[in-house]
């Protein structure tokens, strides 16, 4: 799409109704750092550890799995019921050479599943863009199958039951278009049949913002009994000729899309995000904005996943705007102050006297980074620096160089300056006379010689000075004094 076509594009919302107040669920990919479940490493790191490389990778996976439990508790405190588990929770688990089983992490994963069942949370995964079952390359398909098996094992070890287990799905993009869409779909059908039953039970397709629209995926989802995730943001970027941007033309498709979920008794889910402010071209509009300003039409029986750069802050922003949840659910962060972290006692010594700057603060392990008793976890957009300590401004160092005292000019120095000025003036006048004399210099023109280069020895130039006249065998120059 050219810039001119992008500017002529209709508005993204071509609906005659305002997005309805949302009563579904939200999405939080990760909580405030340093609690996160995507700590990873590269193969080079494994090789550097030598024989203990596998132990290092497993230790990262265990730390991520235990942090998942912390994320679920954090979400429960702030009424967020939807969480996407990071695909990087267990680094290199689906690698052809360095892959491994997840049985060593049964305990933390089972605890995370128990919490999800107790709180009624929904956990899902989203394999990466390199997982493509429609690829013509055999090695890509094999790697994709391994990756799907890894995600299936991860969700299975959670130990969730019944509806919570059915709702733990894996969202997948169709990927690239190789040789044409029909050829790509044919390879997808062929490879889908070879997948395990566990993977088939959890696999879900999603329209993307590059090649595959809702109309492209609906037929194959109905054919293979695969649920379809509707992503509004992707649709607004890559919409088909029969469905325009916005949500008005998508409303008739809602029952058809919902049927792909109800046939497998899985709770439907949708994705919503917005492009960054000022984005015009399709490429620029693919980037998610920090927060969402509105909500799309969404049935209150389905799960709505907010995909935004600010993660849980985007959810809190919508909570405030639409009045979702109790008013005291969360409060604004006090800039550069945290009441949910342990802090040591700070003492400053000055001239042998100790001055207490701040007292020691001990927070129970269960309450660390949970927002404190006042639930201060929200910050306005663009104020992420409120979470970090204030920048220390160091005063400028005092210059110890001795400044020179002003010298009182004596009368003799003034006289010297006046004499010097007169000398300069007289010198200038003499130079002016010399310039006039030089202009009167006449130069005798001597015809050039025919020979080039050095003169023969017998024709060497000889010079004699006689009373201001320089004689030469080649030319004579009279110097006027």
Q: What is the rounded end-to-end Cα distance, in angstroms, of the chain?
A: 83
Q: How confident is the model at residue 101 (pLDDT cuts 50, 70, 90)?
A: very high
Distances in whole angstroms, Cα of residue 226 to Cα of each of 85, 184, 221, 259 = 21, 17, 5, 10
Q: How confident is the model at residue 417 (pLDDT cuts 50, 70, 90)?
A: low
Q: Please choose, from the candidates 100, 79, 78, 157, the residue with its C-alpha nearest in 3D space to the C-alpha of residue 125.
A: 157
Residue 469 is predicted with a pLDDT of 46
Q: How confident is the model at residue 34 (pLDDT cuts 50, 70, 90)?
A: low
Token pair listed for 123? 């956990």
Separation between Cα atoms, residue 91 and residue 77, nearest integer Å: 29
- How open is the CA angle 371-73-358, to the nearest 5 degrees? 25
Token pair listed for 459? 């024709």
- How open is the CA angle 332-336-337, to the nearest 5 degrees? 70
Nearby residues of 228 by Cβ (< 8 Å), 6 or more positions away: 204, 205, 206, 207, 214, 217, 218, 221, 257, 260
- When comparing pLDDT for 97 and 239, which is higher? 97
Residue 407 is predicted with a pLDDT of 52
In the predicted structure, residue 32 carries a pLDDT above the cut 50: no
* 409-426: average pLDDT: 62
Q: Is 89 within 8 Å of 74 (Cβ atoms)? A: no
Separation between Cα atoms, residue 7 and residue 269, nearest integer Å: 32
Q: How confident is the model at residue 228 (pLDDT cuts 50, 70, 90)?
A: very high
- When comparing pLDDT for 333 and 318, which is higher? 318
Phi, psi of 82 (to 5 degrees): -135, 130
> Of 9-23, 177-191, 284-298, 385-399, which one has max mean pLDDT?
177-191
Q: How confident is the model at residue 429 (pLDDT cuts 50, 70, 90)?
A: low
Angle between the 214-224 and 181-193 helix axes, to the nearest 10 degrees? 30
Residue 240 is predicted with a pLDDT of 62
Say which range, 29-38, 227-236, 387-396, has the weakest mean pLDDT.
29-38
Q: Is 170 within 8 Å of 152 (Cβ atoms)? A: yes
* 205-217: average pLDDT: 90
Residue 29 is predicted with a pLDDT of 38
Q: Please choose, from the candidates 288, 214, 294, 289, the residue with its C-alpha nearest in 3D space to the C-alpha of residue 258.
A: 214
> Of 149-153, 270-274, 276-280, 464-468, which one has max mean pLDDT?
149-153
Token pair listed for 129? 């863009």
Q: How confident is the model at residue 477 (pLDDT cuts 50, 70, 90)?
A: very low
- When comparing pLDDT for 343 and 252, which is higher? 252
pLDDT tens-digit readout, 102-122: 999 999 999 999 999 999 999
Q: How confident is the model at residue 445 (pLDDT cuts 50, 70, 90)?
A: very low
Residue 57 is predicted with a pLDDT of 92
Residue 435 is predicted with a pLDDT of 67
pLDDT tens-digit readout, 51-60: 888 899 999 9
Q: How confident is the model at residue 310 (pLDDT cuts 50, 70, 90)?
A: confident
Residue 7 is predicted with a pLDDT of 43
Q: Is 88 within 8 Å of 65 (Cβ atoms)? A: no
pLDDT tens-digit readout, 121-130: 999 999 988 9
Residue 108 is predicted with a pLDDT of 95
Assigned superfamily of 17-322: Divalent-metal-dependent TIM barrel enzymes (3.20.20.150)
pLDDT tens-digit readout, 70-83: 889 988 998 989 89
Q: pTM of this prediction?
A: 0.71
- When comparing pLDDT for 481 and 258, which is higher? 258
In the predicted structure, residue 84 carries a pLDDT above the cut 60: yes
Separation between Cα atoms, residue 245 and residue 234, nearest integer Å: 10
Domain spans in the chain, listed from the N-terminal domain onward:
17-322
Residue 437 is predicted with a pLDDT of 58
- When comparing pLDDT for 429 and 163, which is higher? 163
pLDDT, mean over the chain: 78
């Amino acid at each position: 799409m050219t810039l001119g076509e992008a500017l002529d594009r209709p508005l993204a919302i071509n609906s005659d109704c305002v997005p309805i107040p949302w009563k579904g669920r939200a999405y939080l990919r990760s909580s405030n750092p340093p609690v996160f479940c995507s700590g990873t490493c590269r193969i080079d790191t494994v090789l550097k550890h030598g024989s203990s490389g596998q132990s290092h990778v497993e230790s990262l996976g265990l730390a991520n799995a235990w942090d998942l439990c912390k994320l679920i508790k954090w979400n429960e405190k702030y009424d967020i019921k939807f969480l996407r588990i990071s695909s990087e929770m267990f680094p290199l688990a689906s690698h052809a050479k360095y892959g491994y089983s997840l049985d060593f992490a049964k305990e933390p994963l089972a605890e995370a599943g128990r919490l999800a069942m107790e709180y009624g949370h929904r956990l899902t995964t989203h394999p990466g863009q390199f997982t493509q079952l429609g690829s013509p390359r055999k090695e890509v398909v094999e790697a994709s199958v391994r990756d799907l098996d890894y995600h299936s094992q991860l969700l299975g070890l959670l130990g969730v039951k019944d509806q919570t287990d059915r709702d733990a799905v894996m969202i997948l993009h169709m990927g690239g278009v190789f040789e044409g869409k029909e050829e790509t779909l044919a390879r997808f059908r062929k490879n889908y049949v070879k997948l395990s039953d566990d993977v088939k039970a959890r696999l879900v397709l999603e329209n993307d913002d590059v090649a595959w629209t809702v109309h492209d995926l609906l037929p194959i989802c109905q054919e293979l009994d695969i649920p379809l995730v509707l992503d509004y943001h992707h649709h607004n970027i890559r919409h088909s000729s029969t469905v325009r941007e916005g949500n008005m033309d998508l409303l008739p498709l809602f029952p058809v899309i919902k049927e792909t979920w109800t046939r497998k008794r899985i709770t439907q889910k949708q994705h919503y995000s917005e492009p960054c402010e000022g984005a015009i071209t399709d490429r620029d509009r693919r980037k998610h904005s920090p927060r969402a300003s509105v909500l799309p039409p969404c049935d209150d029986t389905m799960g709505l996943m907010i995909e935004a750069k600010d993660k849980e802050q985007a959810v809190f922003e919508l909570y405030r705007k639409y009045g979702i949840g109790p008013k005291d659910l969360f409060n604004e962060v006090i800039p550069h102050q945290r009441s949910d972290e342990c802090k040591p006692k700070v003492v400053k010594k000055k001239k042998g006297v100790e001055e207490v700057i701040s007292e020691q603060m001990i927070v129970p392990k269960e309450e660390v980074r949970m927002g404190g008793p006042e639930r201060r976890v929200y910050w306005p957009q663009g104020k992420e620096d409120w979470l970090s300590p204030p920048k220390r401004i160091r005063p400028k160092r005092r210059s110890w160089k001795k400044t020179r005292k002003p010298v009182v000019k004596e009368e003799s120095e003034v006289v010297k300056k006046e004499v010097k000025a007169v000398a300069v003036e007289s010198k200038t006048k003499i130079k002016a006379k010399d310039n006039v004399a030089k202009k009167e210099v006449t130069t005798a023109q001597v015809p050039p010689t025919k020979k080039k280069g050095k003169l023969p020895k017998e024709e060497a130039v000889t010079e004699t000075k006689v009373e201001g006249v320089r004689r030469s065998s080649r030319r004579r120059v009279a110097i006027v004094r």
